[in-house]
Amino acid sequence: MNELAGKHIVLGLTGGIACYKAAELCRALIKEGATVQVVMSQAAQQFITPVTMQALSGRPVYDSQWDARPVNGTANNMPHINLSREADAILIAPCSADFMAKLLHGRADDLLSLLCLARPIDKVPLLIAPAMNREMWAHPATQRNVAQLGADGATVFDVGSGDQACGETGDGRMLEPQELLDEVSAFFQPKVLVGQHVLVTAGPTYEAIDPVRGITNQSSGKMGFAIAQAAREAGAEVTLVAGPVSLATPRGVSRCDVKSAVEMFRVVQERASAATVFIATAAVADWRPAKAADQKIKKGGTGKAPELTFVENPDILAALAQSPRGLSRALYCVGFAAESHDLLANAQAKRLRKQVPLLVGNIGPATFGQDDNALLLVDELNAVEMARDSKLSLARKLMIEIAARLGVKGQP
């Protein structure tokens, strides 16, 4: 997707077996359009060679504050200054417990710690991906350092959990390269929804006919999951109420799985009072069988089809939009409309009928199950088209549109 086009990342490696993941991370950053300058501590070179990192990054690796090679055309024998000035971020991955302790105290006895201390603190963010044994991670000294590094303005990513190289199992593994890539991309998104709590519905619903059969639809949930991810990246607290889909939960999002429309409605009602924004992307079934059979309905050999009677499902979006908090916009409600034709007219009519301030139209058959989409945003003033793009890019743009309508000030 070229998520990181134009970004220059200084990738610092410190001692730890997770250095092997840094090789993959370097490739992934470059694949997304970033340029990567690798700096290694001496300990890191016990685990992976500068030759490997040079080959992957396409740039010479630096490891000494006494390195006299010119950096970006400047030959003043100050790699600790020159390497950090061009960076959009310094990412330490893996970051050992020892290196965190060093950063915390402002020590600067090797090139990497020196350039972290010498970086322009307001312009060059420091991102830390810890990697260590579970006891080292859980130690009060490490946890104290994590908290203090955060207070000093660094962003300390989470650690993974699982089997460790030492044979123990627990917290402290470095996140996987793809997870770190997601974290870095998320870091660069504008934090326009800080302080907001966004509630999202996604996916289809499943309305049971009997214990083995039911009625559902083709919604993949991808748009709703992208919206949950984008809202989280924009700094919101996010609750995702998902119908039956097989998608991974976006990092940092709280997810609640449901099946039927009635269940989705109940969970949404429970969570709505804490929310400030409600985005209904779920393809909720309009009708459900009046009564699901207790046992599987058999053919019976008569050739006669079973007769199903239906009752209408609650309209979750309309109910929330027309609640006191919805009407006062304390809960800003956003609806989706999957249409097959006349998108503008249908979206406008749906917006008025449901009484939502913002309705997002898309052509259903052109987007079901796809990774891209095109949107039409309709509010009381006008209609804004968003050209075909990945669902995540569109979701990010939608967050900016929603934030503007909330009157929330954006942060760079």
Catalytic residues: 166
Nearer to ligand C5P, 179 or 379 (CB): 379
Cα 101 from Cα 119, distance rounded (Å)? 18
Report the candidate in 214, 190, 218, 192 with the shortest Cα–Cα distance to residue 204: 218
Nearer to ligand C5P, 92 or 282 (CB): 282
Shortest Å, Cβ 210 to ligand C5P: 22
Shortest Å, Cβ 222 to ligand C5P: 14
Shortest Å, Cβ 286 to ligand C5P: 6
Shortest Å, Cβ 61 to ligand C5P: 51
Beta strands at 358-363 and 155-156: parallel, antiparallel or unpaired: unpaired
Cα 96 from Cα 102, distance rounded (Å)? 10
Residues in the chain: 412
Q: How far is CA 169 from the centre of its chain?
A: 26
Cα 230 from Cα 224, distance rounded (Å)? 10
Nearer to ligand C5P, 12 or 335 (CB): 335
- Secondary structure percentages of the chain, helix, strand, coil, to 5: 35, 25, 40
Question: Kindly report the CA angle at 81 between 72 and 190, in degrees rounded to 5?
Answer: 85
Nearer to ligand C5P, 39 or 316 (CB): 316
Report the candidate in 234, 6, 9, 252 with the shortest Cα–Cα distance to residue 125: 9
Shortest Å, Cβ 285 to ligand C5P: 7
Shortest Å, Cβ 370 to ligand C5P: 18
Shortest Å, Cβ 123 to ligand C5P: 41
Which uninterrupted H or E stretch holds 326?
helix 324-327
Nearer to ligand C5P, 237 or 315 (CB): 315
Long-range contacts of 341-349 (CB under 8 A, 24+ apart): 343/376, 344/376, 344/378, 344/383, 347/376, 347/378, 347/383, 348/378, 348/383
Nearer to ligand C5P, 137 or 278 (CB): 278
Distances (CA, A) of 118 to 14, 90, 102, 375: 18, 12, 14, 45
Buried b (16+ CB within 10 A) or exposed e, 199-217: bbbbbbbbbbbeeeebbbb
Which stretches of the chain bind ligand C5P, using CB under 6 A?
Answer: 201, 261, 280-282, 284, 313, 315-317, 335-337, 350
Cα 397 from Cα 383, distance rounded (Å)? 15
Nearer to ligand C5P, 320 or 408 (CB): 320
Question: Kindly report the CA angle at 287 between 334 and 199, in degrees rounded to 5?
Answer: 25
Shortest Å, Cβ 11 to ligand C5P: 41
Residues facing residue 215 across a β-bridge: 207
Report the candidate in 285, 288, 349, 279 with the shortest Cα–Cα distance to residue 321: 279
